[in-house]
Structure 1
Amino acid sequence: MPTLPREQPDPPPLESHEARRMAESFGVDAQRYDQARPDYPDALVTRIVARSPGPDVLDVGCGTGIAARQFQAVGCAVLGVEPDARMADFARARGLQVEVAAFEAWQPAGRTFDAVIAAQSWHWVDPAVGTVKAARVLRPGGQLAIFGHVYEPPPEVAEPFAAAFRRAAPDSLLNGQPARRPLDLYQAAYAKVADKIRETEQFKDPEQWRFEWEQSYTRDQWLDLLPTTGGLTQLRPDQLAEILDAVGNAIDSLGGHFTMNYTTLATTAARVGAS
C-alpha cells in the first residue's frame, strides 16, 4: 500500500519493488516504527499457523519483527529476512533470528519452512522472483501468506495531510495522488498476487482473506506513526514538521482523537505435494 499524500503506510503490492531507496528507508527510526505500527489480527495468525504443516516460519521483509513476534507467541520458530540492517538489528535485540538480505538475493542453503509470510512487505519483492523462490523453500503443504493493512483516515485528517504534503514536498514522485483511495484498488492488487502464485503451478488455488477491525488514535499517537510511512521517511526535518503540524491541527479540530477503520487483506496458498 503506497505511502502517498493520503497517509497510507506502504505502496500497493507489485508497484514498488524497484524503489529500493524507499524500501530501505524505514530503518531511519526503527524504534518508532516498532512502537507505532499496528499488530496483525490474531485470527489471521491463528489461521495461518493452523493450516501450516509445522512451526517453522520464514518472514520475508520482517522489519523490526512485529508480525514475527506474533508468530513466536503462538509457538512458531521464525527466521527473518530483512534488507535493512538497522531494522534487522532491532529485531535481533527483541529475540528474532534475522539474516540481512533482499529476499531475491537471500541464500536458503537448503533450508525449508512450513510457512513463508510477508507482512506489509511483499510489494518490495520482485514478483517475477519472489513467488517462485517462496515455493522452493516451502515444504509440501506449506503455506505462503502475503498480507497487509489497508487504512484511510477520515477525510477531515486525510485531506489536510494531502494538501500539506503537496506544499512541503512539491517535487515528490508521490504527489498528485488523491487523498483517499477505495479498498477495491487494494483488493485488486492482492488478486494480482494470487495470479502470480497461480502462474508458478506450484501451489493450490490461492484464497483471499479479509479482516475488519478498528483502532482509536490520539493526536500524539497518529503523529508518532506518520513519520514511519514511506512517503515521509525520506523528507527533510522542516518538510516533515510542516506536514505534522497540519495533521495535528486537523486532529485537534476533531477533539484530539479519531477512529481508524482497518481492513487487513491476505492472499494465501498451500504448496502442492501435501499428503
Structure 2
Amino acid sequence: MPTLPREQPEPPPAEPHEARRMAESFGVDARRYDQSRAGYPDALVTRIVAGSPGPDVLDVGCGTGIAARQFQAAGCAVLGVEPDARMADFARGLGLEVEVASFEAWQPAGRTFDTVIAAQSWHWVDPVVGTVKAARVLRPGGRLAIFGHVYEPPAEVAEPFAAAYRRVAPDSPLSGQPARRPLDLYQAAYAKVADKIRETDRFDDPEQWRFDWERSYTRDQWLDLLPTTGGLTQLRPDQLAEVLDAVGDAIDSLGGRFTMNYTTLAATAVFVGPS
C-alpha cells in the first residue's frame, strides 16, 4: 500500500512489508488507535458482503478490529489474524476472535473462508506470498478485498506538521517527503496490488473501487489520532510533543477544526480456483 507523509499510517520503504519495526509499533496505545482511527464506508462493506458467497471472513492484519466489527455488524463471522499481540488482545476484549501471527506465517489448518479482507494492512504483507496465501484459503467464488484510506490534511495543517517533523527527526526517511502527495500516487499503488492479484491466475479480473467522503476534526481529535500513525509511534515524548504543538497551533489558526477529505480505495477480485 502507498505511503502518505507522516500523518498517515503507511511507511516509506519501497517494500513496506520489510519495515517490521514500524509495522509492529501501532500497538503502543491500542485503545487510542481504536478510538481515533476512522472506520470504513458502509457502502464498501455492503458491496463486499453482497459480492461474497457466504458469511465467513478472514481479516488480515485486523489490528484492533475496526473493520472486523463492521463486518460482524453486517452479519459476518470474522476471524482476525494480527501480528501484534497488544492489538489482538484489545480486539479480543471487544468480542473478536483473533490469532496472533503474521499472515505469511499464519497456519490456516485446513480452514477456508468466503472473504479475505485487508483493511489498511496489506502494505505490511509480502504482496506475492500474501496473494497466493489468500487464494489458498478462499473457497471457490470467494472474494479478496484489499482496501485503505487516502487522506491528506489541508496544506495549512500538513505543512507545519512536515516542518516540525523535519526538525525533530531529520534522519527519518519520512522527513524527505513532501507535506502532501497527489491521489494519483495511491491509485497507482492499488493498480499494482490489482496486478499482483492478476498474476496469480487464480482470480477473475480485479476491480478497483473508490469511495469519497469527508470527516471534520477538532484540534483535540486530530492530535489524538496523530500519535497512532507510523511516523510518530517511534518518536521520543519530547519529539512528539514538539510536533503536536506545531500542529495544534496550525489548527487553532483555522478556528480549532478542519475538514478532511477521505478517499477509500480498494482492489478486489473473485477467486476462481487453481490455475
Q: Deviations over 1:102-131 (max 9, x none)?
A: 000000000000000000000000012000
Q: Deviations over 1:155-214 (max 9, x none)?
A: 000000000000011111221000000000000000000000011000000000000000
Report how far residue 8 of structure 1 moved: 1.8
Partner of residue 240, structure 1? 240
Partner of residue 190, structure 1? 190
The answer to whether the 8 A contact 1:3-1:230 is kept is no
**TM-score, structure 1 normalization:** 0.97
Counterpart of 2:91 in 1: which secondary structure? helix
Partner of residue 3, structure 2? 2
Partner of residue 134, structure 1? 134
Q: Deviations over 1:203-241 (max 9, x none)?
A: 000000000000000000000000000000011000000
Runs of 4+ off more than 4 Å = none
Tell me the amino acid that sits aligned with residue 172 of structure 1.
S
Partner of residue 178, structure 1? 178
Q: Does 1:44 align with 2:12?
A: no
Judging changes above 3 Å, is the alpha-carbon distance between structure 1 residues 155 and 35 closer, same or farther for their aligned structure 2 residues? same
Tell me the amino acid that sits aligned with residue 87 of structure 1.
M
1:138-217 equivalent positions in 2, closer than 5 A: 138-217=138-217
Report how far residue 11 of structure 1 moved: 3.2
User: What is the distance in 2 between the residues matched to 1:12 and 1:93?
Assistant: 32
Q: Does 1:227 align with 2:239?
A: no
Partner of residue 55, structure 1? 55
Tell me the amino acid that sits aligned with residue 155 of structure 1.
A
Tell me the amino acid that sits aligned with residue 73 of structure 1.
A
User: What is the distance in 1 between the residues matched to 2:15 and 2:156?
Assistant: 28
**TM-score, structure 2 normalization:** 0.97
Tell me the amino acid that sits aligned with residue 5 of structure 2.
L
Tell me the amino acid that sits aligned with residue 149 of structure 1.
H
Counterpart of 1:267 in 2: which secondary structure? strand
Report how far residue 13 of structure 1 moved: 9.9
Report how far residue 15 of structure 1 moved: 3.3
The answer to whether the 8 A contact 2:57-2:77 is kept is yes
Report how far residue 86 of structure 1 moved: 0.1
Task: Give the gaps of 5 or more residues in structure 2.
Answer: none
Tell me how large the CA RMSD over aligned residues is. Answer: 1.3
User: What is the distance in 2 between the residues matched to 1:254 and 1:248?
Assistant: 10
Partner of residue 268, structure 2? 268
